[in-house]
Amino acid sequence: MKWLFILFAATGFSLLPPLAQSIRELQALLSDARLYQSLGSAEVIQEITRVGDGYWLRTEHYAMKVLLKYGGREERMMGPIHFELEFQAPVELSF
């Protein structure tokens, strides 16, 4: 019984798997009111690309970078990594 508790305790103190963490980040990005304020509701997101420090979004008329600021959770704690989104000003695409 003691070894079973130790096994569950050791596996319980881990971060979310990378897929689950990235899903949380994308959901937060897409549901953030600042995205709609920056791009407008008429824009259609055509591409979202993960880059080293955040995401690049591209619509038909704009490109915009969203930075991810990690912090607020120790590595040994269970659950998701805390993050904040920092929206950069959109850049108008000219073709």
What digits encode the pLDDT tens for the residues 28-75?
999 999 999 999 999 999 999 999 999 999 999 999 999 999 986 565
Q: How many domains does the chain have?
A: 1
Closest to 63 (Cα-Cα) out of 86, 94, 31: 94
Backbone angles phi, psi at 6, to 5 degrees: -65, -40
For 42, the domain range is 2-92
What's this model's pTM, rounded to 2 decimal places? 0.75
The pLDDT of residue 69 = 96
Predicted local confidence at residue 80, as pLDDT:
82
Which residues have a Cβ under 8 Å from the Cβ of 39 and sit 6 or more positions away?
57, 59, 62, 64, 90
